[in-house]
Amino acid sequence: MDPLVLGAAVAIVTILVLFSGVSVALGLLIVSAGFLITFDGIRSLELMPEILFGKLDNFALLSIPMFIIMGASIASTRAGADLYEALERWLTRIPGGLVISNLGACALFAAMSGSSPATCAAIGKMGIPEMRKRGYPDGVAAGSIAAGGTLGILIPPSVTMIVYGIATETSIGRLFLAGVFPGLLLVGLFMAWSLYSTWRSGNTALLNSGSYTWKERFEILPRVLPFLAIILGVLYVMYGGIATPSETAAVGALLCLVIAMVIYSLWHPRDLWVVLRDSTRESVMILFIIAAAGVFSYMLSSLFITQSIAEWIGTLDVNRWVLMGAVNLFLLIAGFFLPPVAVILMAAPILLPIITSAGFDPIWFAVVLTINMEIGLISPPVGLNLYVINGIAPDISLKTILLGSLPYVACMVLAIVVLCLFPGIATWLPDVVMGIAR
């Protein structure tokens, strides 16, 4: 069979298997085993265990459970509520300070937790009721939190960036730095749209949140500054050459647990058990997907599908931006149906040779890919953040949440266009801090 036709068959079968409700990791293993047996014989399965466990034989993978523990220890406390309240007290004098507080809290909490659903849940529980109480439109209240929560996979430290770095053998340090300015760009676009839509509603009175004394503003800082100090410390240790990303993640996880115990009295063994249990569950899920994706990539390579697709695209006489547009469309559609980790592990090894041969920077592409995955988090049918928001505020219909999030999808598309016009937004900081990659 022609490798391109075989590749199309693999894509169709993979989609059908994943849509059947099977877990992503198990689905990839089933598809891989089925095609290997069909075209290479039963003996081809002898290599599967070696590939499966060999994919996990990577010290850099240790950073994934460590960063997850770091985020879980924060998400299990009132850190999100305190962060939101602190920003509200300090930004209350700014017109539209409440919506800016929500988006700022989402950005900071995303940096601390690295999890989009956790950011939505933590900030949304406080932010959505408060905005609705003060007259903000339901679409702005729900959509801004849903969109702000997606920042968790872009602003460092990001588990998604770690997975991309491992899948493509790209520097994780550079990837973290590359997400800083695009993350700030998205925050700025989200804030601009939120303020515009609030002003357009006609109720200018709701642009002013209230007033707090200086004492009330300063008294809450001790509860949030330690966590922010950890984030800055993690980045300093990593980029100061003091420790590797895995070692830094381990220290950060320990410090976050200690601070959660000291500030929020997270001493009870049952509470600590919940943090470690949830972290282990999520870590195992991600690592299992990574291992299964390794087998899936081996199957594609063994059947010459990867090489044939890359060769076929290389023969296309099209402008490289047309090619990038097609890649973005593919990522966007894949992100509608699959979690970001699965899309990255399945697509990145195939797409990386294509985009590099077209002259695109792999670090820049990681940011573009991640923003595409963010769009998937607030787009049906699988938009996870939409359902998290609906669970927090069940009286806001899913349709209202979806319509409220669509302008933020447009902001993300605009961010991708801006990054295409000015790629230095993503590549300048890594080059300055770590030197120009050769």
- Given a cut of 60, whether residue 107 has pLDDT beyond it is yes
Average pLDDT over residues 302-326: 77
State mean pLDDT over 246-260. 82
Mean pLDDT, to the nearest integer, of 303-323? 75
One-letter amino acid of 218: F
Q: What is the pLDDT of residues 37-78, one digit of tens each?
A: 888 888 878 888 888 888 888 777 787 888 788 777 777 777
User: Is the dihedral angle over the CA atoms 269, 275, 277, 283 positive or is it negative?
Assistant: negative
> Residue 83, CB half-sphere, CA atoms under 13 Å: how many?
28
> Tens digit of pLDDT for each residue in 205-237?
555 555 677 787 888 788 778 877 877 777 777
Find tokens 């995303």 and name the residue: 110
* Exposed/middle/buried for residue 341 (C-beta within 10 Å: 0-12, 13-18, 19+): buried
Which tokens belong to 14? 């993979």
Q: Would you state the pLDDT for residue 367?
A: 93
pLDDT tier for residue 398 given thresholds of 50, 70 and 90: confident
User: Is cis: bond before 381, omega within 30 of 0?
Assistant: yes
What does the pLDDT read at residue 387?
A: 79
Residue 201 has pLDDT above 70, yes or no: no
pLDDT of residue 161: 85
CA dihedral 15, 17, 18, 24 (to 10 degrees): -120
What's phi and psi for 345, nearest 5 deg? -70, -30
